[in-house]
Structure 1
Amino acid sequence: MKFIKTILFYSFLLSFIACKQSTIKKDFVLKGFVFGTSYKITYLNADENYKKSLDSLFLLVNNSVSTYIETSDISQINQGNTNISVDEIFSEVFKKSKKIHKETDGFFDPTVGNLVNAYGFGPKDEKINLTDIQILEQMQFVGLDKIKLIDNKIVKEYPEVYLDFNSIAKGFGIDVVARFFNDKNIANYLIEIGGEIRAKGTKKNDEPWIIKLVNPVDVENGFKVINLSDKSMATSGNYRKFRISEDGKKYVHTINPKTGFATESNLLSVSVIGAVDCADVDAYATAFMAMGLEKTKEFLKNNNELKVILIYLNKNGDLEEYTTYK
């Protein structure tokens, strides 16, 4: 009897220890590649490594709105398939795009896809040196008002209209991860994909999530330090992603949806910071690059919940910074 009691005691003790071990919280840093770029995701005080779960979520986003995957919903829609019933991911990205398209007076417009491809910045890599007439011909297929979402199906005014959500989908992918963490009651995390970021809570010791933004205007100091706790941030710029044609003409990846041109303005870089979804700041950053410096300043007067850091060339060709971030 004494032997049995001893066995039961040790069995109970081992079960208690195993239970205690399973509830030990850990901090995780996940790294990898997605959406054609790298990611780094840090989350604290969690039960387990969620990499497999996050990979599954990334796959869902890609299968819905990636133009780089031929079998995705958006690719099939662009190929002319009118029978695709879009999922919740596509629907939300589309509705959010409509909202920001309206707010920015059309400067955010995912229907510039044909021009993005033609200039050599899309999945088709066409690299055509478009004439003014060819641009004008393509502009009749640009305009988010030419597309509607009816009963979970995309209805186009013209079949040639090409959707490209790449200027909002990366930020949306970050939001998907944030929602997953929120559902798991993870209070502290930093999600970065390709330079776009969303943070919640604090680091260890209750320190805020801080990022260092390269400051090309003040090279000696080198960085601008930004507190991103409970905020999202996205940066868009033309100083790195551009191409030079054989005749020496420079094309930048930000297409002006009002003109169809891919020419560089004096606004070189836009960083948008706000206590909103990362998809939102991602889209606003693209819109502001198309707007240019003065129109962006005007927009911000009525939308001061968004903070910006704008890098531009002044009349003398020198770099200057305009910021509402304090």
Structure 2
Amino acid sequence: MVLLGVLSGCGNGDTLERFDGPTMGSHYSIQYVRHSAAPGPKAVRAEVESILAEVDRLFSTYRSDSDIERFNALPANSCQIMLGPVLELIRVGEQLSSQSDGSFDLTVEPLLNLWGFGPQSRAEKVPTAEALAQVRQRVGHAHLRIDGDRLCKDAAVEVDFNSIAAGYAVDRIASRFKALGIDSYLAEVTGELKAAGRKPDGAAWRIALEEPRDDRRVAERVIEVNGYGVSTSGDYRKYFEQGGRRYSHTFDARTGAPVLHNLASVTVIHPSALMADGLSTLLLILGPERGWDYAQKHGIGVFFVLRDNDRFIVRTNEAFERMTGGKTQ
């Protein structure tokens, strides 16, 4: 994922608390306004890290004892009892797959490994047509089925939740904050985030969206966020070049190959960080025309950055401007 710098300031009155740490092979950060009756950062950190540990235990593809990796290791025609959060995200993945005509798919892990981007990959390279055809037999959401509290598969598919798990974690943190009486916060997990309320001085939470460069970090746009999740997906952090072509880690499950269009990054703003996370990936897969039409049809706030030779072109829609209060920089 490609996001985002957080611009913060100092305030008076209520305390602005901050803490951060490692998670999911990356990083998380929390800022929240502590009112007189609100819990302190030590107690809040414990709540946050409990949620993150649960998400990692359920969804991580980088630890063999996670619930999803135990499922991935099963052969075809197998079932495994799953907890509610796993089944919830399987259903979200099914929805996004259906709405993208199969371009978005949670079962692309074998493709990621084949092309060199996955947890079991060995080298980044363009696979042979024969190897690609063989792996594609194990890709497709249609191979999954929910039977009561069991997740079943009729092929040796492997599920990868990396396109939605961090957004789900952010929503879980936001829900816990509400229960704790914390109504002003910015919660970020591996680049996916949600902000609500305002800082102690009354200023909005301001987020810097990066220009999609792989040589240095430059803010393309600064937005104000209140009550929304924000997610950016891009092709410029994980990629390789071969034969004069650039291959990113963003895959179209219908072709089994990385996308090759000129849409460099997509930022989505949505009431749900989970949906922002999944939709930013879905729209990046669909590309500059199909993705734009999808966002307009469904009223999704989007910020597109397109490559045009050695420069970038930005395109935003009315929904994005409305939800971010208009351009702030």
Which of the five TM-score ranges fits, normalised by the shorter chain?
A: 0.7 to 0.9
Q: Within 5 Å, which residues of 2 pair with 1:36-51?
A: 36-45=25-34, 46-49=38-41, 50-51=44-45
The one of 65, 74, 78 equivalent to 2:72 is 78
Q: Deviations over 1:97-135 (max 9, x none)?
A: 122222222222111110011112111123353112322
The one of 243, 254, 258 equivalent to 1:258 is 254
> Within 1, Cα distance between the matches of 2:114 and 2:286?
21
Gaps of 5+ in 2: 1-12, 322-329
CA drift of 1:216 comes to 6.0
1:320 corresponding residue in structure 2 = 313
Provide the secondary structure at the position in 1 that maps to 2:103: coil
CA RMSD for the aligned pairs? 2.3
> Within 1, Cα distance between the matches of 2:81 and 2:24?
23
1:173 corresponding residue in structure 2 = 169
CA drift of 1:162 comes to 1.0
1:62 corresponding residue in structure 2 = 56
> Within 2, Cα distance between the matches of 1:87 and 1:203?
36
> Within 1, Cα distance between the matches of 2:112 and 2:212?
27
CA drift of 1:294 comes to 0.6
Gaps of 5+ in 1: 1-23
Provide the secondary structure at the position in 1 that maps to 2:62: coil
The one of 5, 8, 17 equivalent to 1:28 is 17
- Gap change, CA 1:223 and 1:244, over 3 Å in 2: closer
Instruction: Indicate if the aligned counterparts of 1:108 and 1:284 stay in contact, CA closer than 8 A.
Output: no
> Within 2, Cα distance between the matches of 1:89 and 1:107?
23
Higher strand share: 2
1:238 corresponding residue in structure 2 = 235
1:307 corresponding residue in structure 2 = 301
2:46 corresponding residue in structure 1 = 52
2:178 corresponding residue in structure 1 = 182
- Gap change, CA 1:117 and 1:182, over 3 Å in 2: same
- Match for 1:286: what amino acid? T
Higher helix share: 1
Instruction: Indicate if the aligned counterparts of 1:26 and 1:48 stay in contact, CA closer than 8 A.
Output: no
Provide the secondary structure at the position in 2 that maps to 1:117: helix
> Within 1, Cα distance between the matches of 2:161 and 2:200?
35
> Within 2, Cα distance between the matches of 1:129 and 1:198?
37
Instruction: Indicate if the aligned counterparts of 1:58 and 1:173 stay in contact, CA closer than 8 A.
Output: yes
Q: Within 5 Å, which residues of 2 pair with 1:1-326?
A: 26-45=15-34, 46-49=38-41, 50-80=44-74, 82=78, 84-127=80-123, 129-158=126-155, 160-215=156-211, 222-244=219-241, 250-275=246-271, 277-304=272-299, 306-314=300-308, 318-324=311-317, 325-326=320-321
CA drift of 1:25 comes to 7.1
> Within 2, Cα distance between the matches of 1:108 and 1:185?
36
Instruction: Indicate if the aligned counterparts of 2:212 and 2:236 stay in contact, CA closer than 8 A.
Output: no
How many residues align structurally?
Answer: 296
- Match for 2:39: what amino acid? D
Instruction: Indicate if the aligned counterparts of 2:14 and 2:200 stay in contact, CA closer than 8 A.
Output: no
Q: How high is the sequence identity, in percent, across the aligned residues? A: 28
> Within 1, Cα distance between the matches of 2:82 and 2:40?
32
Tell me which moved more, 207-216 or 110-119.
207-216
CA drift of 1:300 comes to 1.7
Q: TM-score, normalised by structure 1?
A: 0.84
CA drift of 1:74 comes to 0.3
Instruction: Indicate if the aligned counterparts of 1:64 and 1:86 stay in contact, CA closer than 8 A.
Output: no
